[in-house]
Amino acid sequence: MELVTVESSMIHAVGYDRQKRILEIVFNTGRAYQYYDVPLKIHGELLKAESKGRYFLANIRDMYEYAPLSRSRR
């Protein structure tokens, strides 16, 4: 999955697998998570959001099943 670096105080990079509908987020802490069954629209809105951290908190966290990645992607 290709990751795109974003400008955010919370999020370092974002990736999306269209076929599997998996959103991957690497946080500035170095921790990375995959969020499952995320619509493409949510990925696009996250990338366009003025505050990516606020968008994540309001629209992704606690809304989708997720799992931490075993190693940092940063």
Is the residue at 73 inside a domain?
no
- Number of structural domains found in the chain: 1
Give every CB contact of residue 55 below 8 A, 6+ residues apart in sequence.
45, 46, 49
Q: Is residue 74 in a domain?
A: no
In this prediction, residues 7-31 reach a mean pLDDT of 97
Q: Would you say residue 72 has pLDDT above 90?
A: no
Domain that holds residue 62: 3-68
This prediction's pTM: 0.92
Rounding to the nearest 10 degrees, give the CA dihedral for residues 59, 60, 63, 64: 150
The mean pLDDT of 14-37, rounded to a whole number, is 97
The answer to the question of residue 14 being in a domain is yes
Q: Return the pLDDT at 23.
A: 99
pLDDT digits (tens, 9 = 90+) for 29-61: 999 999 999 999 999 999 999 999 999 999 999
